[in-house]
Amino acid sequence: MEVLLPEMILVVSVVLAILVPNIGDAKFRIPLTRVRVPIFVGGTRLKGTSDPRLPALISITAFSLAMFFSFFGVSADSSAVEIGGVLAVNSFSRMMSFVFYAALLLAAVAANYRLPARPSARAPRERDSAAQAERLVRSLMDNRRQVDFHILLMMVGLGMSLMAMASNLFFMFVAIELASLASYILVAFHKEEAVGGEAGAKYFIVGSVASATGIYGMSLVYLWAGDLDFDALAASWAAMDGYDPLAVIGLGLMLVAFGFKVSAAPFHLAAPDAYAGASSPVAGVLATASKAMGFVALLRVLLHVAMPDEGEAIWFVLLALIAIVTMTWGNLAALTSENPKRMLAYSSVAHAGYMLAALAAVGSGLGDDSTTRLVLVAIIFHLSVLVLFKLGAFLVLGLLEIEGRSHRLEDLHGLAHRDPLVAGSMFIFMLSLAGVPPLAGFLSKLLMINGIINISAGTGSTSADAIVPWAESVDPVFWLAVAIVLNSALSLFYYLRIALVMFFETPESTKPLRRATHLRNSIVTLAFLTLAFGIGSGADFLLELVQNAVSAF
């Protein structure tokens, strides 16, 4: 069972998070007797255990440990450990859970400042003024919400991690539902503003429809194959003569569900609303971990199951089109977005487009094993480093959110004057998102484009002696690379706009930012890592890790 240690830690932590704050001096009177047996749950809470900071401590510790052990799982040799026929623990799933845990850990740290715990809070007394009383009540409420939030966060982690290990389609869906349902609540958790509930509701409704569609698609596949084990499905797919409508429609409907998760057009529409309504750390999780989860699902279904040994996959054209529409839509919509969170949401849509394009290139069937691996490495690498800079950007917004709001561009005005270090980090995040070297975002984008070019550039006619004949002869996949670079250029507009307002505009308030030490340190660390994973030994190390993981896929 030690291979599931990280998940075990999470389960235990969830239980602890439920129990520990409730430890008190409650006694149980044995019925019909006067004997009171102390049961320690309930009653007047003990000072130590009822500290509102405790749940955060538990979740942070749990995520740290889980991350730590996951990391060792990646480095361990890649032989898979099968558990119960539905879980396969290998370096790939460990890599992904490592990424998930990292993202959630950062979110937990940030949430600590977003949902401040106030150990000093007490019930209002009569002599307190109305305003004071209200404040006290809110503090108490905040204290209560700590437990819920962190439990949900851990549930998300658990779901995602299990999902990455699933070797059975149904189990994967269940795990996704676990993560999704928890994340719906997390979105709605943003109660300080009127939009929190709305965001949660929309995200929930659209997400549920999508997953219902996905489950229905899965049921069709079950109807067709009679088994939902990936290997069995792959075998059935390979043995399929022509295309069975059940299989194809089932696959298509499942893509809807995954498409929602990765926020691919046209299933992405709820994503900007959700990100904008959720608190920044949660939005960050949605944009990174949740998206990574969707991609893992896509990879599993598309590459593991529905990829023919040779020739073009049935989903190739579809995915290529979706990719182009997604990246263009995302970038275009982000262009004039005045809400930084929405802008980052659209940017996240665009990034999904890039990765889908790379995936589509694999679907073209032009590449061989090594190019497929290259694309996979690119995608996983991108998903990993997204945690650095996409989440980093959300954390910066979270830092702003602590004392105000971050849903207007004006909130970022003059950040460079208020806090140069955070502004500098944000600048790095933005550049990395745009794919400017030498940052991690560049390397990952380069790997994706490189994968596409590797797959397609050799297809052009070598006898063509001018550009136009060559361009006519080359496989259209090549133009996906061009679409990506054009979109990158377009995306610079809005990424740089953030930098612009940070350095250029005068801030609305000249007060320095709150010294949220851990959050600030996290941000700076992420900025540093964005740089370190862009070039040199850091990038080399991460690439090796990813390569190791991909070889186990």
Partner 1 sequence: MIAASWIAGLGVILFGIGLVGAFSRKNAIVVLMCIEVMLNAANLNFVAGALHHGSVDGWVFAAIAIAIAAAEVAIGLAILLSLYSTQETISLDEATLLKH
Partner 2 sequence: MGESKQEWDRLLYLIPFLAVVPYLIIQGESSTDWAWLIVAVPFIIFPIIAIAGQIWNGHDTWVNRFKEGGIIALGALGLSLSAGLWLIYDYLTTQPSLRFTPDPWSWLSFDVLTYDGEGWSVAASGFDFFGLGLYLDPLSIMLLFVATFLCFLICWFAVGYMTTDSINDNSNHRFFAEFVLFSIGMFGMVLADNFLWLFIFWEIMGLCSYLLIGFYYWKKSAAYAAKKAFLTTRVGDVFLLIGLLMLYDIYGSLDFSVVFDDPSTGVGGAVVSAAKLQTALLMLFIGAIGKSAQFPLHVWLPDAMEGPTPVSALIHAATMVNAGLYLVARMVPFVDVANGGVAGMEDLGLIVAWIGGITAFMAAAIAFVQNDIKKVLAYSTMSQLAYIFTGLGAALWLFNTGNHEAGALVFGGALFHLFNHAMAKGMLFMASGSVIHEVHHAHDYLHHEGDDSEHDHASHHDFDAQDMRNMGGLASKMPVTATAMMLGSMSIIGIPLIGGFWSKEVIIGKTWYAYFHGADALLGPALLILATAGMTGFYMSRMWFMTFAGEPRNELVEHVHEATPWIKTPLIVLSIMTALGGFGLAVYGAVEFLSAEADYLSLHGHTLLEQIIHEVEHAFLPEDMQLRYVGWVTILLAFIIGPIMAARIYGGALKEGEQAIPLVHWLTSLSGKFGSQNVDDLANSELAEALQQRLYFDDLYEGILARTIVPFAAFAAWFDANVIDGAIKQIESKSVLGSIQIRRVTTGSARDYILMAAIGTLSIFALIWGVNA
Partner 3 sequence: MITADPLTFITLAPIALGMALLILPQVLPTSMAEYMQRIARPLSMGLALAIFAITTMLFLGQIGAIDWLNILQGEYVFQNTPVVLLEEIGVRWVVGVDALSFPMVWLTAMLIPVSMLVEWDAKKGHIFHPLILIMEGALVGVFVALDLFVFFVFWEMTLIPMFLLILVWGGDNRRYASMKFFIYTFTASVFMLIGILVMYFNTADTSLAGTLTGHHFDLISMTAQAAGSGLIDGAGLRHFVWILLLIGFATKMPSVPVHTWLPDAHVEAPTAGSMLLAGVMLKMGAYGFLRVAVTIFPESTVVFTPLLLLLGMSSLVYAAIVCMGQTNLKRMVAYSSVSHMGLIFLGIATMQPLGIAGALFMMFAHGIISPLLFAVAGAFKHHYHTLEIGSMRGIAHHSPWLAGHMMFGWMASLGLPLLAGFVAEITVLIAFWMTFGWLVILPALTLIITAVYYITSMQRTIFEGGDPHVGVLPDSLHGEEARDITWHENAGMFVLVALTVLFGILPFIFWDMMSDWSTEFMLETLIDALNSQGVKP
198 binds partner 1, rule: CB under 8 A: yes
Closer residue to partner 2, CB minimum distance, 86 or 210: 210
Report the SS3 class of residue 494.
Answer: helix
413 binds partner 3, rule: CB under 8 A: no
Shortest distance, position 334 Cβ to partner 2, whole Å: 8
Report the SS3 class of residue 404.
Answer: coil
- List the one residue from 266, 308, 476, 536 that touches partner 2 (CB under 8 A): 266
370 binds partner 3, rule: CB under 8 A: yes
Residue 356 C-beta-side C-alpha neighbours within 13 Å: 32
C-alpha span between 315 and 194 (Å, rounded): 41
Reading the block at residue 27, the tokens are 């006694």
- List the one residue from 153, 270, 409, 498 that touches partner 2 (CB under 8 A): 270
Amino acid at 431: L
Return the CA Rg of the chain.
24
Shortest distance, position 237 Cβ to partner 2, whole Å: 15
C-alpha span between 451 and 378 (Å, rounded): 8
Residue given tokens 């799933």 in the structure block: 93
Render 511-529 in DSSP notation, one character per residue.
Answer: PPPP--HHHHHHHHHHHHH
Angle between helices 369-401 and 440-456 (to 10 degrees): 150
With CB under 5 to 8 Å by kind, the binding choice for 446 among partner 3, partner 2, partner 1, none is: partner 3
Rounded to the nearest 5 degrees, what angle is found at the Cα of 196, between the Cα atoms of 132 and 175?
125
201 binds partner 1, rule: CB under 8 A: yes
148 binds partner 1, rule: CB under 8 A: no
- List the one residue from 40, 68, 222, 493 that touches partner 2 (CB under 8 A): 493
**DSSP code of 266?**
T
Q: What is the dihedral of CA 462, 464, 468, 472, to 10 degrees?
A: -60
Angle between helices 477-504 and 340-363 (to 10 degrees): 160
228 binds partner 1, rule: CB under 8 A: yes
Closer residue to partner 1, CB minimum distance, 153 or 552: 153
Largest CA distance in the chain: 100
Bridge partner residues of 453 (DSSP)? none
Closer residue to partner 3, CB minimum distance, 50 or 75: 75
Amino acid at 128: D
Report the SS3 class of residue 89.
Answer: strand
Q: In the range 443-472, which residues lie near partner 3 by CB under 8 A? A: 443, 446-447, 449-450, 453-454, 457-458, 460-471
Interface with partner 2 (CB under 8 A): 201-202, 205-206, 209-210, 213, 243, 248-249, 252-253, 256, 260, 265-267, 269-270, 272-273, 314-315, 317-318, 321-322, 329, 332-337, 490, 493
Interface with partner 3 (CB under 8 A): 370, 373-374, 377, 416, 420-421, 424, 431, 434, 436-438, 442-443, 446-447, 449-450, 453-454, 457-458, 460-471, 473-474, 481-482, 485-486, 488-489, 492-493, 496-497, 499-500, 503-504, 535-537, 539-540, 543-544, 547
Interface with partner 1 (CB under 8 A): 170, 174, 177, 181, 184-185, 188, 191, 194-202, 204-205, 208-209, 212-213, 215-216, 218-220, 222-223, 226-228, 272-273, 276-277
